[in-house]
């Protein structure tokens, strides 16, 4: 019984190219009580591997959080499988605005403590007492209300390339960091202002809205389905789009263009740019914004030091990395002294 990937990312990429079939990039989440997350994890991996699903899925006692891609021809089979699982029946699926057949190259289903790393003790407040969910039309009306405070619940590198106009965009590295900062900044307006929040697909706002109601905020709203569902509704119902720039996404695309506005700049030369890349030096892998000219001049690296390492033979690079810890924990996304034009 296969419970792990047998192909590398490069091997999978080649197979996708050879197949020439369209894939759909999808995200969804659901809070539910799961008695044995490991059993569910194994069940999902076996079933979805057969359907050629690729992606990153977190399963915990509190529910599931999934970002994945599936061959378009297998979508109905995949949807039927979701509906066969009681707590996932008719779950809302956020279909990507811009499709890319290589958005994911491996199937990773992991058991985690939580489906979002919020750092909260759920036993201290009622996580089911959420804010009011609003669709795109009502959201547009709310954010024009002078008594509304609009808050972006995402991290700095996400809001840097795109956000709703007039939104507060906390300069934070993690979702947990933003919770206390926002509460402190808005402490005087817990009763007289409408707190309206949004994120990529809605999951961060589910817990945040309940947390802020617990903290005494009287009028709490959240954008149903996040930026992804907002954009779908705007297009479907011919509504005014109030989102500026790109929506950052957590797959190989790194972003979906929502409007033509470019609100950020290249971190190396300062010219308008909103293209996120990872440093080509595998010992670095820093996430930053880089224009085409700088990518060419710097060999897709974030610094001359990384450029020199990247130019070495691969085996020599491996020797330099040996014994050194490389993970997202030690390389802050979008923050480094080598990035001269990072705001």
pLDDT in tens, the chain (343 residues): 567 777 888 888 888 888 889 999 999 999 999 999 999 999 999 999 999 999 999 999 999 999 999 999 999 999 999 999 999 999 999 998 888 899 999 999 999 999 998 888 888 888 888 999 999 999 999 999 999 999 999 999 999 999 999 999 999 988 888 999 999 999 999 999 999 999 999 999 999 999 999 999 999 999 999 999 999 999 999 999 999 999 999 888 899 999 999 999 999 999 999 999 999 998 888 999 999 999 999 999 999 999 999 999 988 888 888 766 654 444 468 888 999 988 6
Domains of the chain plus CATH, in order, are 9-111 (3.30.70.100), 132-232 (3.40.250.10), 264-342 (no CATH)
From the candidates 199, 205, 284, 301, give the one annotated as an active-site residue.
Answer: 199
pLDDT of 37 = 96
pLDDT at residue number 330: 42
Q: In the prediction, which pLDDT does 118 show?
A: 85
Q: Is 273 a catalytic residue?
A: no
Cα separation of 302 and 309, whole Å? 11
pLDDT at 69: 96
Cα 336 to chain centroid, rounded = 21
The CA-based angle 319-284-173, given to 5 degrees, is 150
Q: Residue 143's pLDDT is what? A: 96
């Amino acid at each position: 019984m296969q419970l792990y990937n047998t192909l590398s990312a490069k091997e999978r990429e080649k197979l996708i190219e050879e197949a020439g079939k369209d894939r759909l990039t999808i995200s969804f989440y659901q809070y539910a009580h799961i008695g044995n997350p490991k059993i569910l994890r194994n069940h999902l991996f076996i079933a979805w591997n057969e359907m050629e699903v690729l992606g990153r899925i977190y399963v915990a006692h509190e529910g599931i959080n999934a970002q994945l891609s599936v061959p378009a021809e297998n979508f109905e089979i995949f949807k039927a499988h979701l509906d066969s699982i009681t707590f996932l029946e008719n779950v809302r699926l956020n279909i990507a605005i811009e499709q890319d057949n290589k958005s994911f190259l491996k199937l990773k289903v992991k058991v985690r403590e939580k489906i979002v790393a919020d750092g909260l003790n759920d036993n201290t407040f009622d996580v089911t007492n959420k804010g009011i969910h609003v669709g795109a039309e009502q959201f547009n009306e709310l954010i024009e209300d002078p008594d509304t405070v609009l808050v972006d619940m995402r991290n700095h590198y996400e809001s840097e390339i795109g956000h709703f106009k007039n939104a507060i965009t906390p300069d934070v590295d993690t979702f947990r960091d933003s919770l206390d900062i926002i509460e402190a900044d808005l402490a005087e307006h817990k009763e007289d202002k409408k707190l309206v929040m949004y994120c990529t697909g809605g999951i961060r706002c589910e817990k945040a809205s309940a947390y802020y109601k617990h903290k005494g905020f009287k009028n709490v709203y959240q954008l149903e389905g996040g930026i992804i569902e907002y954009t779908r509704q705007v297009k479907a119902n011919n509504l005014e789009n109030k989102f500026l720039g790109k929506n950052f996404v957590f797959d190989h695309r790194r972003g979906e263009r929502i409007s033509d506005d470019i609100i950020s700049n290249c971190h190396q030369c300062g010219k308008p740019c909103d293209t996120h890349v990872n440093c080509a030096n595998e010992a670095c892998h820093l996430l930053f914004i880089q224009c085409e000219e700088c990518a060419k001049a710097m060999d897709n690296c974030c610094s001359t030091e990384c450029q020199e390492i990247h130019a070495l033979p691969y085996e020599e690079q491996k020797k330099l990395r040996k014994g050194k810890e490389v993970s997202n924990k030690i390389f802050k996304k979008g923050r480094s002294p080598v990035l001269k034009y990072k705001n």
